[in-house]
Structure 1
Amino acid sequence: MVFSGFDGQRRGMRIAFAAAGFIGVASLLGGCQSDPDIDITAYVQTIDPADVLYNEGLANLNAGQLTEAGRKFDAIDRQHPYSEYARKAMVMNAFVNYRQGQYAEAINAASRYLSLYPGDADAAYAQYIVGLAYFRQIPDVTRDQRTSARAIAAFTEVIERFPDSEYVEDSQTKLRFARDQLAGKEMQIGRYYLERKEFVAAANRFRLVVEQYPNTRQIEEALARLTETYYAMGLTSEAQTAAAVLGHNYPDSQWYADSYKLLKTGGLEPRENKGSWISRAGARLVGA
């Protein structure tokens, strides 16, 4: 073939470069085939259509093949970034990581999605996954409860930012549990101080439960412990008020029966002082 002028030279150079490239790849693959320790597939990248990868990932997910599903969704993110399927794959990858117990990865993937697409249709689900991932890491009440606080923040975000989403009801349920964990931790610390007769420190912990976690399962014991603590400190009016609020809201509680009995040993009975912080806090209780 004969080329004329500059265009002919340029076309000739492209053919020469292409031929050289073909020879180079052929030599490389030939060398790889002769070396059993080299995988020639590492030199060849297959780029599949995004919709094909996504549907394959869903099929793997439905078949319980979570690792393979994650690989498909990862491939979409790498090969087709910022596409519609990349957005969907990011959320699905967060879900796959959550299902595999890889909670940090799930939180990172969902948080990345939320930072890139905060107003997208799946934003509520991504935020819900963040909450679930923290929720599954909540330890027993004797241990540090920072994860409970993070779960509370995540589920609160679901409820406040996406009030019409289908994830609100379950978020509210899990939120109550996480709050109960925080209240339980405060009760554990308060009992520790009470056993050592460090009454001021104990009262501060029980007060925190009454004021910040009034509608948890810990509230009955917190009021009873305040009755006990204030009685031991000689603050009889506060002790009587704590017992009165407890009896008003939970009259059949064993904690109230114990508090009533304690006051009786000193010739006292439950009597609410409306000016006390306990009375004001008591107005916010479920049974008030």
Structure 2
Amino acid sequence: MRRELFRRGSIIAAVLVAAALSGCAGKQNKPKLAYEERPVELLYATGAQRIDQGRWSEAIDYFEEVERQHPYSEWSRRSILMQAYAYYEGNQYADAVAASERFIQLYPGSPSASYAYYLKAICYFEQIVDVGRDQGSAASALVALREVAQRYPNSDYARDARVKIDMVNDQLAGKEMAVGRWYLRRNQPLAAVNRFKTVVDKYQTTSHTPEALYRLVEAYLTLGLNEEAEHNGAVLGANFPGDPWYSDAYKLLTAKGLEPVAPTETAEKAKKKEGWLGKIIPG
């Protein structure tokens, strides 16, 4: 996906490289990077050639040379993005982000700015770690991906960003769940409640919501707050009637003498609702 989006973006290096190489084929040897004024087409083409060969650091050197020798040219503008891409492919994410941001600051109205925003977001996204560790990169990725989706809503970049936003939300919700469970195991239900409520309030569309509601029932019962426990059980039953987490919540609530709606009853209500809607809107 990332290579396809790169090549479909505004960087049309392939055509330019082909034209430049055809003009100097047979004449050029590998140029040295000691300062020597050379045709910008040759510098750029050699850098693009290094990218095709996966020689990221060498490619960066050539694109930097384009900037130094031809700072106000169209080639220089393209070279900044090519540097960002080479840094990214070389897993030098901080440098890739810096180059992307530099392009955005210098050329905010460029058609290629969409790619710069996207590349910056992907750099953060690919640094996301498991839920047991700090989620700083996930939070940064979420902000950057939302920016892509908002600025360029009809682009391929935005479509991919929206998919990744769901993935990042699930990751952040998973982190909250892990911390909440940790508090429950250490008999700190009030601290756990705050974590589970965050999942329900901020990440309600993720796969973690049914468990978060169940854990709220569990924590509130531990605190002796039966009304709150019953309320969250009702929300769980109304929204996830056939979910195993609701069956477990039902058992907890009835064990305390509370009378929530039975899981089978909520499931039947959901089916009736679907059947009624089906009569109005077939299919």
Q: Report deviation, 1:42.
A: 9.6
Write out aligned runs for 1:44-193 (5 A).
Answer: 45-193=35-183
The aligned residue for residue 197 of structure 2 is 207
Write out aligned runs for 1:210-249 (5 A).
Answer: 210-249=200-239
- Find the aligned partners of 1:270 and 1:143 in 2 and give their Cα distance: 37
Write out aligned runs for 1:259-274 (5 A).
Answer: 259-270=249-260
- Find the aligned partners of 1:84 and 1:91 in 2 and give their Cα distance: 12
- Find the aligned partners of 1:63 and 1:197 in 2 and give their Cα distance: 56
- Find the aligned partners of 2:60 and 2:49 in 1 and give their Cα distance: 11
The aligned residue for residue 28 of structure 2 is none
Matched residues, number: 231
The aligned residue for residue 30 of structure 1 is none
* TM-score of the pair, normalised by structure 1: 0.76
* TM-score of the pair, normalised by structure 2: 0.77
Residue deviations 1:145-191 (CA, integer Å, cap 9, x gap): 11110001111110111112210111111111112221111111111
- Find the aligned partners of 1:43 and 1:128 in 2 and give their Cα distance: 31
Listed as ranges, the gaps of 5+ residues in structure 2 are 1-30, 262-283
**2:227 aligned partner, one-letter code:** S
Stretch moving more, 177-186 or 148-157: 177-186
**1:108 aligned partner, one-letter code:** A
Q: Report deviation, 1:65.
A: 2.7
- Find the aligned partners of 1:76 and 1:97 in 2 and give their Cα distance: 16
Paired residue secondary structure (1:167): helix
- Find the aligned partners of 1:43 and 1:235 in 2 and give their Cα distance: 72
Structure number, greater radius of gyration: 1
Paired residue secondary structure (1:137): coil
**1:67 aligned partner, one-letter code:** S
Stretch moving more, 172-181 or 140-149: 172-181
- Find the aligned partners of 1:67 and 1:79 in 2 and give their Cα distance: 19
RMSD value over aligned CA atoms? 1.9
Paired residue secondary structure (2:91): coil
- Find the aligned partners of 2:39 and 2:154 in 1 and give their Cα distance: 34
Q: Sort the Cα spacing of 1:103 and 1:118 in 2 relative to 1 into closer, same or farther, 3 A.
A: same
**1:244 aligned partner, one-letter code:** A
- Find the aligned partners of 2:86 and 2:52 in 1 and give their Cα distance: 11
Paired residue secondary structure (2:65): helix
Paired residue secondary structure (1:191): helix
- Find the aligned partners of 2:151 and 2:47 in 1 and give their Cα distance: 29
Q: Report deviation, 1:60.
A: 2.2
**2:165 aligned partner, one-letter code:** L
**Alignment partner of 1:195 out of 165, 185, 188:** 185
- Find the aligned partners of 1:240 and 1:190 in 2 and give their Cα distance: 19
- Find the aligned partners of 1:171 and 1:193 in 2 and give their Cα distance: 33
Contact kept in structure 1, 2:153 and 2:159, CA below 8 Å: no
The aligned residue for residue 37 of structure 1 is none
**2:223 aligned partner, one-letter code:** M
The aligned residue for residue 251 of structure 1 is 241
Residue deviations 1:217-260 (CA, integer Å, cap 9, x gap): 21111111001111111222211121121122222222111111
Q: Sort the Cα spacing of 1:158 and 1:43 in 2 relative to 1 into closer, same or farther, 3 A.
A: closer
Paired residue secondary structure (2:257): coil
**2:61 aligned partner, one-letter code:** R
Stretch moving more, 145-154 or 196-205: 196-205
